[in-house]
Amino acid sequence: MSEGLGTTVGRSSRRRILRLAGGGITMAALGAGLTGCEDELATGGEGSTPPPRSASPEDGKAPEDGRAPEPLWTKSTSAQTYGDNDELVAVDGVVIASGDPLAAFDGATGEERWSLPGGAVPGAPLLLGDGTLYLESGKYDGSVAGYVPGSGKEAWRSRLGKEYRQPRPVAVDAEQVYVIAEILEADGSSHTNVIAALNSGTGKVAWKEQRDLGTQQNGVHAAVQGRHLVYTDFKNNLTVRDTATGKQVWTQKTTKTSYGPFVVHQDLVIVPQGQRLQAFALSDGSEKWSVRAEEFTTFREPTLLSDVLCIADSGRTLWALEPGTGRTIWRSTALKDAGGQVPRQFVEVGGTLYGATDLDERGGVHAFDGKTGALRWTFNDKSGDHHSWLVATDGERVFALHGKKLHALPA
């Protein structure tokens, strides 16, 4: 699993509430050089959404004239997503979106490769580790399962215990799957929760630790770096535990609630905190660097790709930063100049940065120059669907999920 990605558990997030209110719906990378040059605006059409080409680009390549490419293929899916980054993955030649049934599509052709009714809880994270796709069971039977991504065959299953309810995977490494579950009371209620590690070879419980009273099972984002399991929650907690024992290394309150993924880089955890982006030492939680956005603007979710930290702010400025120091590599206002939606998730292919936005209007998938942040084009399927866009890549194509429509774009 990529070390830079936090994963999400629970879906009662502030972002989801805002999205539902705005959309009236039920459900809702950077290959950067070290040259700090100004961006250049490249748009094609009204606002930030250039119209698609009338013909597909030659040889499956994206066009160079500022217009978005035609999809290589588009499929209707059973996707039921809430806009979190870990609900769409591309691995082993297939692309998979969270939904019921859970379905995998061939990355090259779009043909369905396998389908798994009740395979996952809709909206739950799709966690990849050591060639296995780990899921909270869609049968709500208290189990966590692992599948071979290319075939959909079950490879692993584990249960935390009957005294726990709804164990939800939050992170995975080469040896363990980390879950959070409700602790059941005698009357069937639950007021506390536990965090535990399951051995990814045997399924046996390696350790389990009760979390503090008042913490919630929902709204947890987590990542693993070496012996450190790092997670945030809706109670403004930033916590680090030892992966071998489960013992808490440190925990501290953050100034703002982190509603989305964070980044772990070497010995740092980097968390957006409203107007500030802060980096803390994994060893003791001390602040190592901080970057401040302009007044009245807030940072979105960060992504670490090719050892460069990419993040957008609500003022529609795109930042490329050195993750170890916070030093600015470049800043681009191309999106602000175009009046486009702010991206919150990024992937990178061949020097192009692809960013997925929240709501549909003036959004979609933006393509940026990875060395300058210049806006190349924006793809939008014009469906009017108010679900957030999600992106994933297999290195040859960029997969864009919007509502129940899955598009494969040439990279």
Statement: the pTM of the whole predicted model exceeds 0.75: yes
- Is 387:23 a contact under the CB 8 Å cutoff? yes
- Going by DSSP bridges, is the β-strand pair 375-379/365-369 parallel, antiparallel, or unpaired? antiparallel
pLDDT in the model for residue 184: 86
pLDDT in the model for residue 83: 80
DSSP line for 297-322: --B---EEETTEEEEEBTTS-EEEE-
List the single range of 22-31, 172-181, 315-324 with lowest mean pLDDT: 22-31
Asked if pLDDT for residue 301 goes beyond 70, the answer is yes
Asked if pLDDT for residue 127 goes beyond 60, the answer is yes
List the single range of 54-68, 235-249, 289-303, 304-318 with lowest mean pLDDT: 54-68
> What is the rounded radius of gyration, in angstroms, for the C-alpha atoms of the chain?
20
Q: Comparing C-alpha atoms, which of 311, 398, 275, 382 is closest to residue 348?
A: 398
- Pair of tokens at residue 175: 């040896």
Residues in the chain: 411
Asked if pLDDT for residue 311 goes beyond 60, the answer is yes
Q: Comparing C-alpha atoms, which of 373, 393, 259 is closest to residue 316?
A: 373
Task: Using pLDDT thresholds of 50, 70 and 90, give the confidence band for residue 389.
Answer: very high
pLDDT in the model for residue 2: 40
- Pair of tokens at residue 348: 């990178």
List the single range of 48-57, 171-180, 261-270, 330-339 with lowest mean pLDDT: 48-57
Task: Using pLDDT thresholds of 50, 70 and 90, give the confidence band for residue 16.
Answer: very low
Asked if pLDDT for residue 285 goes beyond 90, the answer is yes
Main-chain phi, psi angles of 164, to 5 degrees: -125, 150
pLDDT in the model for residue 189: 82
pLDDT in the model for residue 17: 41
Cβ-based burial of 77 (10 A; exposed 0-12, middle 13-18, buried ≥19) = buried
pLDDT in the model for residue 64: 57
Asked if pLDDT for residue 146 goes beyond 90, the answer is yes
Task: Using pLDDT thresholds of 50, 70 and 90, give the confidence band for residue 54.
Answer: very low
What mean pLDDT, rounded, does the chain reach?
85
Asked if pLDDT for residue 170 goes beyond 50, the answer is yes
pLDDT in the model for residue 255: 83
CB atoms within 10 A of CB 348: 24
Q: What is the pLDDT of residues 210-228, one digit of tens each?
A: 998 777 777 899 999 999 9
Percent share of the chain, pLDDT over 90? 65
Count helices and strands (H / E) in the chain: 2, 33
pLDDT in the model for residue 221: 92
Across 391-398, average pLDDT: 97
d(CA 379, CA 366): 6
